[in-house]
Structure 1
Amino acid sequence: MARLSETLAQLAQAQRAAAARFAEQPEGEDSRLRPLESFGANPGALRALTYVPEATSDRRMPLVVVLHGCTQTATGYDRGAGWSDLADRHGFAVLYPEQQRANNGNLCFNWFDAEDIRRGGGEAQSIRSMIATMVRDVAIDPDRIYVTGLSAGGAMAGVMLATYPELFAAGAIIAGLPYGTATSMSQALDRMRGRGLPADPALAALVDGAAPAGGRVPRVSVWHGDADATVVPANADAIVAQWRGVHGLAYAPDEVEQVEGHAHRLWRDAQGRAAVEEYRIRGLGHGTPLATTGADGLGQPGPHMLEAGISSTLHSAAFFGLIERPSARAAATRAKPKPASPRPHPWSHSPGRSQVGDMINGALRAAGLLR
């Protein structure tokens, strides 16, 4: 069996090779983002960048916190997902926490490190300090703060929603993993493969124990490709179950529809608000779903920034309440689902894999972690 350290080195090499093309543009030359200096307690040793459009009114702006994936940077992710462009159009601010290579050689947020995922510690505390500084120094509406992220960044978005729920009205987790299910590298690799995920009640209990009781419960949007061979779709099922349990929602969704050709499920709370939703993107591997062409085109494809014909950025912004739902391209057919007893997720997923996924799986096989 190959040593785990050798496997991780292979994984890092594969990810860096995939990211090289996207990094051809010098980060410092075309970035719209600006550093946020002196933001207080930073036990996670993270960097912070921001985009704040010119104020168009006297009202406080919403804030979207965006967490990049492994091998990515804040500028690269912003270029791919288009959040600062959307902020210009609709008058909200963007905060990009950025991982440093000294903390993680692949630039992943450490979503599996117990110290970094607890309230008041590590990277979670660093991100909370950034948000507090933005609220203090910029005209930010503290009731309209949101968080989103991809992969390790998606998992860290879940960390923030669980550990600081009072800060966030809603979040969007893309190709991520459920909160609190891994506290070591070996556990992280197992969870990425869908192994060892807790049962639904235990998933909800992990969130319930992460912050003081009695605060608000953020609304959550979950995005995952059905051909993701890096973080398998079982993790999306677990994230949905986790937050459905925290909200006290039934197993069966209130709405099932096709949105721009992709499956969408929605659960509403007792007040009729959209509390938890899931998009399962047909044929998509591991990455952020983009729609970069046409009148509503946004972002730029690259490694882990994948053209899908549906924009997770636009739909997440709509879920947050920042923009109207992108309905021009959505031919949705709604159907009230029949009540059903709990069972495995009914949607099969394609065995197709991206080139990066094949490389990662090869590294995992070499370590004996994948058959």
Structure 2
Amino acid sequence: MYKLFVAGALAAGALAAQLTQVSNYNNSAKAKPGMQDITFRRPWWVYVPDAVKSDALVVAIHSCQSSAQKYFQNSKIPWKQGSDRKGYVSVWPSSTTECWDVSSRASLSHDGGGDSNAIANMIKYAVGQYKIDPKKVYVTGGSSGGMMSNVMAATYPELISAVSLYSGVPAGCFVSASGASAAWNNSCSGGQSTATAQKWGDVVRNMYPGYNGTRPKMQFWHGSVDSTLSPNNYQEEVKQWTNVFEVSQTPTESKKDTPEKNYRTDDYGPNVEAIWAVGVGHSVPSHLDASEAWFGL
């Protein structure tokens, strides 16, 4: 009887959901003329929970000096737990450089051929392969992954319904004057890259010229004592996305000690939400319930 029990337990374990690399997916896109065709491929993994109860997809983008596997295994990154609890599929891209490319013209352009293009291809493949509702694709990430989340919202708004990003910077803030891929930008990281709301909004619009469709809801989090990516970037993000959605920079509602003590949540209508974490550095801890609520999960 004991042997039968052990055999059954091992079989059940073998069938348990696990992070799985996706190797052969459609790669038919072509960079625009004049764009550097860096690659449309990046390694990526998918997590399909044992009980799929949702037709939603969450894309979790890792931080610098990390990977899909490390991000997935990080106990402070709760999206595996969310997938198990609510039954949605999650996609985990992996960068081939130390940080994501949020600086080159290729990655900061729709169909430009850079990292953003690679992640867009992952989304397109996953929507078809895992029977995802195209209107239920959500993106999250921290630090460099938060930066890329902003870039994805700007370059591929048609693929994404909502974004919840942690400790990032405005889309396009890390642009490289030399066009270098995955370059560090001291001006942006140090909080010196400031502009009017109109200019920040134009940065987003110029990443996908002519696009006039629906844009993803934007939720972003930033710590007040972040020493890696200046807290000044929080207000620049507010400028950027309130301009894109054509709403005032004055919150329609402000809630103190939400979602926890010393946090402040500011709403700018239904499409922009900013969370200011007093006394928190880099990176702001993920808040699964609040992010899932923003996604409508």
Aligned residue number for residue 237 of structure 2: 239
Is the alpha carbon distance of 1:44 and 1:69 closer, same or farther for their aligned partners in structure 2, counting shifts above 3 Å? farther
Q: Tell me, yes or no, if the aligned pair for 2:170 and 2:233 is still in contact at 8 Å.
A: yes
Matching of residue 38 in structure 1 with residue 24 in structure 2? yes
Deviations 1:168-187 (A, max 9, x none): 11101211111122322777
2:290 equivalent to 1:315: yes
Quick one: distance in 2 between partners of 1:213 and 1:117? 15
Kindly report structure 1 stretches of 4+ aligned residues shifted beyond 6 Å.
none
Aligned CA distance change for structure 1 residues 146 and 287 (closer, same or farther; 3 Å): same
Deviations 1:69-108 (A, max 9, x none): 00112222223312011111111110111012xxx2x2x1
Question: Hey, what does 2:115 align to over in structure 1?
Answer: 123
Match of 2:85 in 1: 89
Equivalent-residue separation in structure 1 for 2:244 and 2:108 (angstroms): 18
Where does residue 4 of structure 2 map in the other structure?
A: none
Quick one: which amino acid aligns to residue 281 of structure 2? G
Cα RMSD of the aligned pairs, angstroms, is 1.9
8 Å CA contact retained: 1:44, 1:116: no
CA distance in 2, matches of 1:126, 1:240: 27
1:221, 1:276 within 8 Å by CA — same for their partners in 2? yes
- 1:45 Cα deviation (Å)? 4.0
In structure 1, distance between residues paired with 2:293 and 2:24: 32
1:63 aligned onto 2:57: yes
Question: C-alpha distance in 1, partners of 2:193/2:165?
Answer: 20
Query: Which residue is equivalent to 1:169?
Result: 161
Give the equivalent residue in structure 2 for 1:48: 44
Residue ranges of structure 2 left out of the alignment (5+ in a row) = 1-16, 30-38
Q: Return the letter of the residue paired with 2:212.
A: G
Corresponding residue to 2:134 among 125, 130, 142: 142
Contact 1:181 / 1:198 at 8 angstroms: preserved in 2? no
Q: Are 1:65 and 1:95, in contact at CA under 8 Å, matched by a contact in 2?
A: yes
Shift of 1:129: 0.8
Overall identity of the aligned pairs, in %: 30
Q: Distance in 1 between matches of 2:67 and 2:21?
A: 13
SS of residue paired to 1:119: coil
Q: What's the offset of the Cα at 1:117? A: 2.2
Q: Once the two structures are superposed, what CA deviation does each residue of 1:318-350 show, in whole Å capped at 9, x if it has no partner?
A: 10001xxxxxxxxxxxxxxxxxxxxxxxxxxxx
Size of the aligned set, in residue pairs, is 260
Q: Equivalent residues in 2 for 1:173-188 (5 A)?
A: 173-184=165-176, 188=185
Equivalent residue, structure 2, for 1:356: none
How far apart are the structure 1 equivalents of 2:173 and 2:249?
21
Note the residue ranges of structure 1 that are not aligned, 5 or more in a row: 1-30, 269-273, 291-310, 323-371
Q: 1:78 — aligned with what?
A: 72
Q: What's the offset of the Cα at 1:44?
A: 4.7
The aligned runs of 1:1-371 (5 Å cut-off) are 32-41=18-27, 43-56=39-52, 61-80=55-74, 81-100=77-96, 104=97, 106=98, 108-120=99-111, 121-184=113-176, 188-211=185-208, 212-258=210-256, 259=258, 260-261=260-261, 262-268=263-269, 274-290=270-286, 311=287, 313-322=288-297
Which letter does structure 1 place at the counterpart of 2:268? W
Tell me if structure 2 keeps the 8 A contact 1:32–1:84.
Answer: no
| CA distance in 2 between partners of 1:138 and 1:162 (Å) | 25
1:213 deviates by: 2.1
Q: Distance in 2 between matches of 1:173 and 1:39?
A: 26
Tell me how far 1:119 sits from its aligned partner: 1.0
Whole-angstrom distance in 2 between the partners of 1:180 and 1:51? 30
Amino acid at match of 1:141: D
Distance in 2 between residues matched to 1:44 and 1:198, nearest whole Å: 31
Q: Deviations over 1:24-75 (max 9, x none)?
A: xxxxxxx931101212228154111111123545xx6100111100011222
User: Aligned to 2:137, what secondary structure does the other structure show?
Assistant: strand
TM-score by length of 2: 0.83
Which residue does the alignment assign to 2:10? none
In 2, Cα distance between the equivalents of 1:289 and 1:249?
Answer: 28
Distance (Å, rounded) in 1 between the aligned partners of 2:219 and 2:20? 28
In structure 2, relative to structure 1, the CA distance for the partners of 1:187 and 1:48 (3 Å cut) is closer
Q: Give how far 1:127 is off.
A: 0.6
Change (3 A) 1:68 1:288: farther
How far residue 158 of structure 1 moved from its aligned partner, in angstroms, is 0.8
3-state SS of paired residue (2:220):
strand
Distance in 2, Cα, partners of 1:99 & 1:288: 21
